[in-house]
Structure 1
Amino acid sequence: LVVAAVVTEGIVLVGLMREVGTLLLRDRPASPGRMDGGPELGTPVSLPNLAPGEPAILLFLSPGCGHCEELLANLPALERDYPAIRLIGVPVSADDEERKEKREEDDKKTALPYELAEINAASEAVALLSAEAGPAALEKFEQDQAALLDRGLLPRLYPYAPLHVLTRRELDDLFDTTPDLTGADIDVSRFVREGEERDVTVWWWPIPADGAPHPRLRPSHEALCRVPVGEAGNWLLGRGGGEQADSSTVESGAPSKKAAPRAWVWSYLDGAWERLEERHLYPGQTILVDARAGGYDVKIGFTGKAGHVPPVVAEHAHVLGAVDAADAADEQDELSEGIGDASRQYKTIATHCAETAQKAQAVALAVGLSRSHAHALELAALAHDIGKGHDAFAGAIKDRNGIAPEVFLAKAPKGRWHALDQLYNHSPAGKRPGFRHELASALALLELAWRARPDHPALQGGREELLEKTVCRDLPQQDENLAEPCGLVASLLALDEPAFNLVLYLIMSHHGKVRASLAMVPRDQENPGPDGSLPIRGVRDGDVLPALEFADQDGSSFVLPAARLCLEPANLGLSRRYGPSWIERVVSLREQYGSFQLAWLEALLRVADVRASWIADPLDPHLPREFAEVSAVPESNDRDAELRNWMEQTLRAAADGEVSRSSARGRGRSPRSGRSERVSTRRAP
């Protein structure tokens, strides 16, 4: 072990430590030029007089000193006789550049996770503070160093040279969470991580040889292990440097190097675990690895070695809650099953929207929202789920418990829905994978507002002349016109343009899956209609949302007319029908409110929606009592019970395989040589 401290410019003291914590240096220098009881600094040292194993003080001089060549000539013998000594600051000649670079690389690796320059600066600061290091001395030290400006230690002690700076434009770009063609993977790691060592997070679970991870399987915090992205790539993608296990033989306990370990990442778009590929490997990614592939030792941490099979216990995974599950996949919306006791109940759209509006009113009062913002929040809550009247959503409920098809439901109990991968494939209008009801809700309100008052400032109002000279105006036909709008539509038309757009925005974004832009996802592009047209988030141009019976905030009943959905807002530029495009509306809101205030209002509506999803008493007044609630969730269709059973089976199978291998496997030793492994700095789960 080595200690080093800069005494004067260009001169470094290196001392040999016989054991940890015992430094065998002589007393610190009595003056800048001498060591007490030792030679003058700069005096040549007779290296042959140093006996092996004897405590030593070596003085290495700065480049240009006449004794440097002598030191370099004796360097091999010195390293042989004193293997514990690590030489720091040794000047090198031009023909020894390769050796210098290797030593610098070794020093940098040893310094991780810190930078070597920062450690050297800290060492200099400690030397200067050797007399006193109290708060007053530290404050005076920083003041003195600050006075030296760039010549002082502060720029090296507290370096600030970020590789990436988050600009306002990039912050605005991150505001949009629209999924892209890679599966909605938005890489923000460059803004939240520093240095060259960027990590992925790995966790292990025993996966059946002929199967895939359960779609609801998620890791607990204790199961996660950080691994540098480069090492993970070498191990998991077979780039070299790691020991891979043949996926066909790991079950038998005889790993080989024929194949890379089986590994998966979560696909937001597909709502399932998909096999790891090169494009998935980036800092911040979470990777699930089949535990039989090894790669982890309880004493060492991450090893990437096939023989090191990590222990897995039930606490390494957890059952996903309804709110988290709803956010985990594009199609998944488990809040529609209700929460707690409400998960055994059916709820109509009218009842759930009214309950959400009541909760939104309470939330707005609790946080002290302004009257205008509170009113917009309540209107958005009242209308947020009207898109669930769409045939695609209605068809997702496979068991209506005798409730008539013309009764439009927002909630159904657990176990009464089609499987997630087939959830929206039961509409009379055809399959609608990726369907988002919040998009249908916002488009329906936009259409009804246009039919009632196309000259509203949030629609064509103030843009009539521009529309006539460019794309022309599209006005409602006589049979489309809503001469006397009432209820929700009348309340929306009473708002000015910013408030009108805010209500639509909160409806659109209340699940966080549709926000700033209306873009197709891969499932849309794979689902052309008979005329070749493509949907957007499962909604087709011309879809009809049926009329719904509703109640206003004061309890007054009204009928929300049927609406034909139009996708024009997804286009850039002015719409002949609705005026500003959707992206233009969102940009104007962001300029007026800012990204964080919009996110705050989104969160409040989300809170109101979740709280309303807990309401189990009273039962829905629009449904017969015998139909509104089921006695219990069918266990065979309970997704949580299914996951728990799957976890028990996989753990049991892994334990049986462990018993059969235990006699052939050493513990705490290298599987090849029996030597103890180098201790890893990677955290154990």
Structure 2
Amino acid sequence: MEKLYPGLAVMFPCKAGGYSAELGFTGNPKERDFAAINLNLEQDNKNDLALQEQSSPDSDDDNATTQVGSFVSLHQHSQDVAAEVKTLLDDVPEGLKAFKFNSLKEAYGWDEAWVQRLIQAGLYHDVGKAHPVFQHLLTQKRPERENGLWAKSDHTRQERKAMKPPKDWRRGFRHEWASALVALREYPEDFLLAYLVACHHGKVRMTVQARPRETKPPEHHKPYALGVWEGDVIGNVEGVTSEDYTLTLDCIALGRESWQNRAIALLHHYGPFQLAYLETLIRIADWRASSISKQ
């Protein structure tokens, strides 16, 4: 094996051992309990195909929440998600009603600054969709829509699967990473906001690395990660951002101000459960807003 990288699947012959039916991979060559494994390869292949149809680990091009049956502007969807975040914070979950709290924000002691931070995360979560690469995807075979900025399209899932990606499509592109970079530019001191924007699809969290098979920029010296290239421009989104932004990927370099270092600091400060809870608020708000768009 000459080149190892995160996410690589490596196969070893059974005779090499190292597997326990109770513990899984152990690395102990004396453990060879492979008889307990049900090698139903045909069913495994069917399961893999089903998962691939549901979501793609590397790109947005078959994200089911992007095809909702009608075009929805990026401005409208951003406002909808921000409104859903506010609704969640103003609501009282069933589990807290017995404690006589008037709202979720009251239960957790979140002041107005905290509330506005979470609402802003909802507002900024999809600004990366203003990237030309993503807009070309949404307006593919819809030339009458090319003058707008869209968050959702009316392509059906079957139609999307039958179409070839646009010529400028970048394999591995993650719109939420572009969104996070914009949020980081507008609120450089509020890394939590940028982090919550980045992780609302669960694909970007502690570390940001270029994927092995993603589209690389023609300039070999140019930094890139998750389909976003140094110097990409995100257009102004009405009601959200204040200007066009030229993206920089300085934060993926090593150092104290790197994305990884700041994300780890968040984890240490808030702990995994509170951080996951905050992530979930933005995710649920996005789901709710997207479901409204489908109606």
TM-score band w.r.t. shorter chain: 0.7 to 0.9
Residue 78 of structure 2 contacts residue 126 of structure 2 at CA under 8 Å; is this kept in 1? Answer: yes
Distance 1:317 1:438 in 2: 25
One-letter amino acid of the structure 1 residue matched with residue 253 of structure 2: N
Do residues 336 (structure 1) and 77 (structure 2) align?
Answer: no
Do residues 182 (structure 1) and 21 (structure 2) align?
Answer: no
Deviation at 1:566, TM superposition (A): 0.5
Do residues 438 (structure 1) and 173 (structure 2) align?
Answer: no
Structure 1's 229 and 360: CA in aligned 2 closer, same or farther, altered over 3 A? farther
Equivalent residue number for residue 545 of structure 1: 234
Distance 1:508 1:523 in 2: 21
Counterpart selection for 1:288 from 41, 44, 66: 44
Equivalent residue number for residue 384 of structure 1: 125
Residue 447 of structure 1 contacts residue 566 of structure 1 at CA under 8 Å; is this kept in 2? Answer: no
The Cα offsets for residues 406-435 of structure 1, whole Å up to 9 and x where unpaired, read as 311100023386449954x533xxx41010
Distance 1:531 1:616 in 2: 41
One-letter amino acid of the structure 2 residue matched with residue 325 of structure 1: Q
Distance 1:532 1:317 in 2: 36
Question: Residues 506-655 of structure 1: matches in 2 within 5 Å?
Answer: 506-524=196-214, 527-533=216-222, 535-550=224-239, 560-574=242-256, 580-616=257-293
Distance 1:514 1:317 in 2: 22
Gaps of 5+ in 2: 11-18, 25-31, 94-103
% same residue? 28
Question: Residues 63-82 of structure 1: matches in 2 within 5 Å?
Answer: none
Residue 392 of structure 1 contacts residue 426 of structure 1 at CA under 8 Å; is this kept in 2? Answer: no
Deviation at 1:587, TM superposition (A): 1.7
SS at match of 1:410: strand
Residue 128 of structure 2 contacts residue 179 of structure 2 at CA under 8 Å; is this kept in 1? Answer: yes
Residue 527 of structure 1 contacts residue 534 of structure 1 at CA under 8 Å; is this kept in 2? Answer: no
Counterpart selection for 1:360 from 76, 85, 88: 85
One-letter amino acid of the structure 2 residue matched with residue 352 of structure 1: H
Question: Residues 51-62 of structure 1: matches in 2 within 5 Å?
Answer: none
Equivalent residue number for residue 325 of structure 1: 54
Residue 516 of structure 1 contacts residue 582 of structure 1 at CA under 8 Å; is this kept in 2? Answer: yes
The Cα offsets for residues 126-165 of structure 1, whole Å up to 9 and x where unpaired, read as xxxxxxxxxxxxxxxxxxxxxxxxxxxxxxxxxxxxxxxx
Question: Residues 387-426 of structure 1: matches in 2 within 5 Å?
Answer: 387-397=128-138, 398-400=140-142, 402-403=144-145, 405-415=146-156, 418-419=160-161, 423=165, 425-426=166-167
SS at match of 1:523: coil
Deviation at 1:502, TM superposition (A): 1.2
Residue 436 of structure 1 contacts residue 538 of structure 1 at CA under 8 Å; is this kept in 2? Answer: yes
Distance 1:289 1:601 in 2: 35
When the two structures are aligned, how many residues end up with a matched partner?
256
Higher helix share: 2
Residue 72 of structure 2 contacts residue 293 of structure 2 at CA under 8 Å; is this kept in 1? Answer: no
Distance 1:197 1:232 in 2: 6
Question: Residues 256-267 of structure 1: matches in 2 within 5 Å?
Answer: 263=41
Structure ranking higher on relative contact order (CA contacts 8 Å, 6+ apart): 2
Counterpart selection for 1:346 from 55, 63, 71: 71
Residue 20 of structure 2 contacts residue 33 of structure 2 at CA under 8 Å; is this kept in 1? Answer: no
Distance 1:387 1:509 in 2: 13
One-letter amino acid of the structure 1 residue matched with residue 216 of structure 2: N
Equivalent residue number for residue 197 of structure 1: 21
Residue 72 of structure 2 contacts residue 153 of structure 2 at CA under 8 Å; is this kept in 1? Answer: yes
Residue 353 of structure 1 contacts residue 381 of structure 1 at CA under 8 Å; is this kept in 2? Answer: yes
The Cα offsets for residues 15-43 of structure 1, whole Å up to 9 and x where unpaired, read as xxxxxxxxxxxxxxxxxxxxxxxxxxxxx
Residue 388 of structure 1 contacts residue 409 of structure 1 at CA under 8 Å; is this kept in 2? Answer: yes
Structure 1's 598 and 232: CA in aligned 2 closer, same or farther, altered over 3 A? same
Deviation at 1:325, TM superposition (A): 2.7
Gaps of 5+ in 1: 1-178, 186-194, 201-227, 237-260, 265-286, 291-315, 338-342, 451-457, 459-499, 552-558, 575-579, 619-685
Deviation at 1:391, TM superposition (A): 1.3
Deviation at 1:346, TM superposition (A): 0.5
Distance 2:198 2:293 in 1: 26
CA RMSD of aligned residues (A): 3.5
One-letter amino acid of the structure 2 residue matched with residue 407 of structure 1: G
Distance 1:440 1:588 in 2: 21
Question: Residues 119-134 of structure 1: matches in 2 within 5 Å?
Answer: none
Structure 1's 439 and 400: CA in aligned 2 closer, same or farther, altered over 3 A? same
Bigger radius of gyration: 1
TM-score (norm 1): 0.34
Deviation at 1:518, TM superposition (A): 1.1
Deviation at 1:550, TM superposition (A): 1.8
Residue 570 of structure 1 contacts residue 582 of structure 1 at CA under 8 Å; is this kept in 2? Answer: yes
Deviation at 1:336, TM superposition (A): 1.0
Structure 1's 419 and 426: CA in aligned 2 closer, same or farther, altered over 3 A? farther
Residue 511 of structure 1 contacts residue 606 of structure 1 at CA under 8 Å; is this kept in 2? Answer: yes
Deviation at 1:180, TM superposition (A): 2.0
Structure 1's 422 and 591: CA in aligned 2 closer, same or farther, altered over 3 A? farther
Structure 1's 359 and 401: CA in aligned 2 closer, same or farther, altered over 3 A? farther
Do residues 231 (structure 1) and 35 (structure 2) align?
Answer: yes
One-letter amino acid of the structure 1 residue matched with residue 175 of structure 2: H
Distance 1:346 1:564 in 2: 26
The Cα offsets for residues 269-316 of structure 1, whole Å up to 9 and x where unpaired, read as xxxxxxxxxxxxxxxxxx6158xxxxxxxxxxxxxxxxxxxxxxxxx9
Deviation at 1:373, TM superposition (A): 3.5
- Give the 4+ runs in structure 1 shifted more than 6 A: 316-320
Deviation at 1:582, TM superposition (A): 0.9
The Cα offsets for residues 612-637 of structure 1, whole Å up to 9 and x where unpaired, read as 0011489xxxxxxxxxxxxxxxxxxx
Structure 1's 289 and 401: CA in aligned 2 closer, same or farther, altered over 3 A? closer
Question: Residues 649-668 of structure 1: matches in 2 within 5 Å?
Answer: none
Equivalent residue number for residue 185 of structure 2: 447
SS at match of 2:182: helix
Residue 396 of structure 1 contacts residue 418 of structure 1 at CA under 8 Å; is this kept in 2? Answer: no
